[in-house]
Amino acid sequence: MLKENFRHEGMVMHLMGAAVMTAAGEALSITKYKKCEDFIDSRAGVFSSLRGILKVPMVINMALSKDPEVYFDKVQQVYADINESRGSKDERLFLAAMIIASKATNALETSDLIDIAGKIYDRTDAAGRLFADMSAYVTAASVATAGVYDVDAFAEELELCKEELNQPAEIGRVPEELCMLLAAQPGEVEDKCDRVREISAALGARKIGLGSGDAASMLAALATLDMTADEIADAVNAADNYLKNQKGFGFMGTGAATRHMYAAMLACIAYSDDSGADEIGGGAAINDAIRNRYTASMLLSQQIMLQTQMMMLSQTGSPLA
């Protein structure tokens, strides 16, 4: 349904939108979503920043909110504030605005979260590049809304995670976002990193590729499940085997890398409540979080594997609060 009605957005957006709607128990009624899309279009003039946004996440978050138009106005205001503080009109900042807008309850809290997210982002390697990578700002916004307020402690933990994971391992080139997510988790650095390596090795033994680049960040989400590395790998493998036989996922479909990420995300949704649920959407923690709205925007970022982790952090809280 999303692919048919939002043709200009990529497969990842369609898949992640479907996952959010499934976990939220949303019926496949296009009328509500098209109404939200029409409202966005009515506010997007020739020079409007709305013309470049990723529409699927905004539409679904609006549809899940109690008052879509009020939610829309709030996100736009937060985006304007982020834009003023960062001096960037990168469309990914709309995702950060959705995360912060759905968490903050008033203008002061919004300002605080934008300030913390900016300070976290400024301590990353991404901020120091010639062309700054604003996807890391989305992760920083997620970390801030998860309850990380001690930026110095977070930055120290981040460097330790990067140092630990960049030792020779099967993970490959470790993305900074994975280390950011691990830094926000409770636990000792060595234990967290060993857990990620064990899961990566178990997945590799089943020929599941989450071993490099952005896909490796999905490992941080899998690491939060109360399951052994082999149990996690078996769950992801089962989801992957199922997807191979579904339209759009086979030999001529999305490709193995995207399918593996999606299978891992489905496993997180299914098993996040520790019940060993057989049906996707059975995770009570995810359903509760989505009913609070802001997790939906996390799931819908370009790097879904990052935002799935932050959803889980929102349930447990961060030790760096």
Give the range with max mean pLDDT: 9-18, 67-76, 256-265.
Answer: 67-76
CA–CA separation, 246 vs 251, rounded Å?
Answer: 10
Task: Give the model's confidence band at 301: pLDDT under 50 very low, under 70 low, under 90 confident, else very high.
Answer: very low
The conformation of residue 222, written as its DSSP 8-state character, comes to: H
Distance CA 206, CA 209 (A): 9
Q: Strands, DSSP E only, in 213-315?
A: none
Would you place residue 191 in the very low, low, confident or very high pLDDT band (cuts 50, 70, 90)? very high
Query: Is residue 315 scored above 70 in pLDDT?
Result: no
Q: Cα dist. 222→45, 70, 215, 304 in Å?
A: 42, 34, 12, 13
* Distance of alpha carbon 193 from alpha carbon 246, whole angstroms: 34
Please name the helix (run of DSSP H) or strand (run of DSSP E) that holds residue 92, with its range, or none: helix 92-103
- Average the pLDDT over 227-251 and give the result: 89
Does pLDDT of 270 surpass 70? Answer: yes
| Residue with the larger pLDDT of the pair 66 and 285 | 66
Report the amino acid identity of residue 63.
Answer: A
Q: What is the pLDDT of residues 52-64, one digit of tens each?
A: 566 777 888 888 7
Q: Is the pLDDT of residue 152 over 90?
A: yes
- DSSP run (H or E) holding 233: helix 229-244
Residue 156's pLDDT band (cuts 50, 70, 90) = very high
Q: What is residue 138's predicted lDDT score, i.e. its pLDDT?
A: 84
pLDDT, residue 307, reads 42
- According to DSSP, residue 215 is labeled G
Q: What is the largest CA-CA distance in the chain?
A: 53
92 compared with 242, residue with greater pLDDT: 242
Between 52-61, 152-161, 187-196, 301-310, the lowest mean confidence (pLDDT) is in 301-310
Q: How far is CA 268 from the centre of its chain?
A: 12
Domain boundaries, the chain: 2-316
Position 302 scores a pLDDT of 31
Per-residue model confidence (pLDDT) at position 213: 56
CA dist 52 and 47 (Å) reads 10
What's the mean per-residue pLDDT of the chain? 76
Counting residues of the chain whose pLDDT is more than 70, the rounded percentage is: 74
1-15, 71-85, 118-132: the lowest-pLDDT one: 1-15
CA-wise closest residue to 116 among 87, 148, 72, 92: 148
157 band by pLDDT with thresholds 50, 70 and 90 = very high
Q: Which of helix, strand or coil describes residue 65?
A: coil
Q: Do the Cβ atoms of 211 and 183 come closer than 8 Å?
A: no
Angle at 66 between CA 61 and CA 67, to 5 degrees: 85
Highest mean pLDDT among 94-98, 119-123, 215-219: 119-123
The pTM score is 0.75
Q: Which residue in the block uniquely carries the two structure tokens 């030790």?
A: 319
Distance, first Cα to last Cα, the chain: 40
